[in-house]
Amino acid sequence: MVMHARSGGDIEVMGLMLGKIVGQTMVVLDAFALPVEGSETKVNAQQESYEYMVQYLERSHAVGRREPVIGWYHSHPGYGCWLSGIDVSTQRLNQKYQDPFLAVVIDPKRTMSAGKVDLGAFRAFPEEQQPSSNVGADSDEMQNVPLHKIEDFGVHSSKYYSLDVGYFKSSLDKQLLERLWRKHWISTISQSPLITNSSYITQKMAEIADKVSYCGKDGKKSVSLEQVLRESDAIADEITQGHRSNRLKVRLFTEA
């Protein structure tokens, strides 16, 4: 899913997840991309995608893969893991007709900058259910939301809730990862996160500067100084980690 999200660049991409339910846990075992592209915080599957989806599932069943679809994923390149108004409507529709169903959002740019997968899993509250004021999406995620999207985040953040996420790998996954590492270890070590993520870091710093001008103001785009400070600390930590990584490589490969 992360590789698919990265391949989309600045464009949102979408896919479906296959898996099973174990007790109170939704276990994702596989995922496949859909021929869908979106923009901003809007990504919808069209007729072509539905046809592709049906054909994929039919062929999966033909080779013995019986896992049902248990959710969908899409990317938010550079603006955090949360659900927009369109996303909430899509998730509610899926939960209504094919529950249990899961929504996953991936931020590929944040993943590359932080050096770890930035992924959120969500479920929407039913329309007839009014959650309490202290239940809903994690407000801390607002620090990753650009100023021009804060209004959309704030309006819909009480309509869904986040889930705990855990990762596991099978013996086959381990073998595949080892082969990938043997093939790409040189390019991985030679890359500098400060260079590969320079445009994202510049973008985040510009967003922080924009948010500073709205600190303490009333209105839909109001942000707190605490949120801006947390976002500043996060990007500073990533830059520091990049310098440390570069220094370590210099000591390992060039210094005697």
Helix, strand, or coil (residue 204): helix
Nearest to 126 by CA among 164, 97, 160, 103: 160
Cα 225 to Cα 162: distance, rounded to the nearest angstrom: 24
pLDDT of res. 62: 77
Tell me if 153 sits within 8 A of 197, measured CB to CB: no
Contact 36, 43 (CB under 8 A): yes
Q: Are 181 and 139 in contact (CB under 8 A)?
A: no
The pLDDT, as a whole number, for residue 123 is: 92
Among 72, 146, 144, which residue's Cα sits nearest to residue 113?
144
pLDDT per residue of the chain (256 residues) written in tens, 0 to 9: 888 888 887 788 888 888 888 888 899 888 888 777 655 444 545 566 667 777 777 777 777 777 888 888 988 888 888 888 888 888 888 888 888 889 999 988 888 777 778 888 999 888 777 666 555 555 555 556 666 566 556 567 788 888 888 888 778 878 887 887 777 666 666 677 777 777 777 777 877 777 777 676 665 556 677 777 777 887 788 788 778 877 877 777 776 5
DSSP string, 11-78: SEEEEEEEEEEETTEEEEEEEEEEEEEEBTTB----HHHHHHHHHHHHHHHHTT--PPEEEEEEE-TT
Predicted confidence at residue 172, as pLDDT, reads 80
Scanning the structure block, which residue is given the tokens 């922080």?
208
Number of Cβ atoms within 10 Å of the Cβ of 217: 9
For residue 99, CA distances in Å to 48, 67, 69 come to: 23, 15, 10
